[in-house]
A and B are shown apart, each in its own frame.
Chain A
């Protein structure tokens, strides 16, 4: 069974640029959630995708957007990068929403640094 994978591992961008982060879900999972973890903080929910549709969004501006593909992999896109976007971005996969416990399995994360 393949776990959740994310790419790239590390990324350095400058303010104003755009970035795309990628995530492959665990085998058998059709739901992907994205979280932002700033240094010294707990992860904050960005949004969730289920069957290629957004299924909930946290308190993040529209310049944070996402996609889910038919194979359930997902992308997180951030436009007009700001210094405060520097963080570890975590992807988590889970079975369909509404299943008990909503246990989410996390990938290793992408460390984004905005200069």
Chain B
């Protein structure tokens, strides 16, 4: 059974940093790209970014709203994807979901974790 478990969320002050982890199980982690999607309280879904698998150079793409502040990385030996968030702003307050990406015709986030809440406030 595919499982994704996010951790590392919490309350953080503006300007500080936080690192989220996404621990995967039930599939060969290194064979898949992974993404992060967030949802501000009461709002819709916003793509944060993704990281390709090793065969595609472990390259990353980011939303403009986080580019230069957030970094996605992965450790295939541990089956973990990370989201390093620096220079946090109050508007980064959201539930952060990690997703697996499958490519069947189109790239699709097929499995999602339960999410972890990040609150940026002084």
A-B interaction: no
